[in-house]
Amino acid sequence: MLDLVDVEGWVLDHRKAVSPQLRAILRSRIIRNDLRPMSRLSEPELAKEYGVSRQPVREAFITLMNEGLVEVRPQRGTYVCKIDYDAVLNARFVREAVESDIVAKLASEDSGDLIKELRAQLSMQKKVVKGSPEKFMELDERFHMTLAIGAGLAKSWRFLEGIKSQMDRVRFITFEEFHISKLIGQHEQIVDFIEQKTVSGAEDAMRAHLREILNSLPRVRALYPDHFENSPGESREENPKL
């Protein structure tokens, strides 16, 4: 399921494995900018906050470090990484390649039951157009995940989840840059082409949808320069790790 945790649900269920939950919570807080770039994360303070030992916190840090979300600096502490501009571009490129193939596969098959589910999801998306951006993003995640699962490519979606966290951070810090009604319209177009079994149309619609972030990324970076690293024109010498 989704790794984005409901804002109201940043609480551990101690009946279940703690470390994966803690990783999901911290990941969600970073993506939603609740934990801002360059914030220092205290292992003992987080352990106290969530009522756990320091071991699961340490394990969560390691996983998040592998995702490029935190940086562990020996003798100095653990910090939330800035948004890696290069990683955003690379993740979008990979998503476009994978997800355009996913919808092409669906458009070439019988997807009747899947279409019904996707139409129901579109109805839910339309109900939150002027509501919570967090809720819409959860529904957006569900939509794309449903496409992958419907194509029998759930593992591909899990792979994408692991690389697109930087994209999600961009979307959350400036949600107003993304017009929900337009995104829903693009979702509808994708579903229409799948239902019509128009492979090229489905591919093109998905590519256009995932390229939306390219239109706003330069402006977002200009508005929040301190949130980004590895931006165009920025040399690696000018952006050393502290």
Tens of pLDDT, residue by residue over 11-55, are 788 788 899 999 999 999 999 889 999 999 999 999 999 999 999
Q: Considering the domain boundaries, does residue 36 fall inside one?
A: yes
Calculate Rg over the CA atoms of the chain.
19
- Of 175-179, 207-211, 213-217, which gets the smallest average pLDDT? 175-179
Same domain? For 94 and 168 the reply is: yes
Whichever domain contains 90, its CATH number is: 1.20.120.530
More confident residue, 10 or 127: 127
Max distance between CA atoms of the chain, in angstroms, equals 59
Whether 113 and 39 map to the same domain: the answer is: no
Least confident of 56-70, 76-90, 117-131: 117-131
- Pairwise pLDDT comparison (121 vs 76), residue with the higher score: 121
Q: Is the Cβ–Cβ distance between 57 and 22 less than 8 Å?
A: yes
Average pLDDT score over residue span 140-147:
96
> What pTM did the predictor assign?
0.84
Reported as half-sphere exposure (CB side, CA atoms, 13 A), residue 35 has a value of: 23
Burial 1-15 (b: 16+ CB within 10 A, else e): eebbbeeeebebeee
Regarding whether 150 and 71 lie in a shared domain, the answer is no
Higher-pLDDT residue of 240, 46: 46
Whether the per-residue pLDDT at 238 is higher than 50: the answer is no
For the stretch 64-83, pLDDT in tens is 999 899 998 888 899 999 99
Shared domain check, 150 and 65 = no
* Residues 74 and 110 grouped into a single domain: no
- Is the pLDDT at 8 greater than 70? The verdict is no
Q: Which domain, by its residues, includes 110?
A: 84-227
Tell me the angle at which helices 180-195 and 199-210 cross, rounded to the nearest 10 degrees: 160
Cα–Cα distance, 153 to 142 (Å, whole number): 14
